[in-house]
Amino acid sequence: MDSWEKAGRISAEVLEYGSKLIEIGGSAIEVLDKIEAKIYELGGKPAFPAQISINDLAAHVIPENNVVFKENDIVKLDIGAHVDGHVADNAKTIDLGNNEDLVKASKLALNEAIKVIKPGAKLYEIGSVVEKTITEFGFKPIKNLFGHGIDIYELHARYSIPNFDNKNKSELKEGQIIAIEPFATNGIGMIKDGKLSGIYNVTNIKQVRDNNTREILKFILENYNMLPFAKRWLLKKFPEFKVSFALRTLEKESIVYHYPQLPEVSQGLVSQHEFTVLVKDKPKILTKVD
């Protein structure tokens, strides 16, 4: 468990570090740069691009360079680290306004969900606890966003962990690593695909003819394996025209998937909290600051 636990410690420490950088007037992209640098400094690597999703945006957002935090923003910070492919994923919400109850709803839902985690726990039982907790605050869970299993170099593995009672009777197994991540909203409780995010994932490895594209794909696989990566990471190594051409080619060949941003359908505000957990009779939160 050493690598899982180290990844968890790094993720937890960096999440706390990053959350303290989020303040009115601050640059969102500068916060992401500092967060990713901190992950390396502590001996890990980013398991995916650090993300800051503001207000009605629930996930998959790398803000534009000119985005600054404003009064009344509700900010989701989602970061992950890995150690030799052992992934830890966690998130929290920072409220720059008056959204205290919305933040509490997802945070308490996470804590209550942890209490039912054990070998044999059914997925719908987790979702039911999340849904009940959030609705008691007067909000709704986002029903088409899920937690997920985690495996080596695999951010989204078996199972999908629901945020509502979806009647799924699949059972957790001893020793599984899972990410629980309730999302609460004052909207209708659904997200949709928004504009493209600049976050990619290799989904299918095959040969490509173009030398430039082949070079960049090789770099992606050597540095990020099958974990998500950011276009902005590639721009630190290669010229923009080469990166853009290669990514377009890789998308066209169905080798990479380009994630969309995920706004709430009715533009409701969204809060999120997330831990990575080891399934045991007494579950162990791997991404918790001691």
Residue of 82, 86, 148, 273 with catalytic role: 148
Residue of 89, 95, 165, 264 with catalytic role: 89
274 is catalytic: yes
Cα(first)–Cα(last) distance of the chain, in Å?
A: 17
Rounded to whole angstroms, the Cα distance separating 31 from 84 reads 25
Instruction: Give rounded-to-5 percent helix, strand, coil for the chain.
Output: 30, 30, 40
Rounded to whole angstroms, the Cα distance separating 245 from 251 reads 10
Residue of 95, 125, 181, 264 with catalytic role: 181
| H or E segment to which residue 218 belongs | helix 211-224
Residue of 13, 36, 73, 78 with catalytic role: 78
What tokens does 230 get? Answer: 């950011």
71 is catalytic: no
Whats the size of the chain, residue-wise?
290
181 is catalytic: yes
Q: Do the Cβ atoms of 12 and 285 come closer than 8 Å?
A: no
| H or E segment to which residue 156 belongs | strand 154-161
Q: Tell whether the torsion through CA atoms of 212, 215, 218 and 222 is positive or negative.
A: negative
What three-state secondary structure class fits 68? strand
148 is catalytic: yes
Residue of 86, 156, 165, 264 with catalytic role: 156
Rounded to whole angstroms, the Cα distance separating 196 from 152 reads 27
Please give the positions annotated as active site.
78, 89, 148, 156, 181, 274
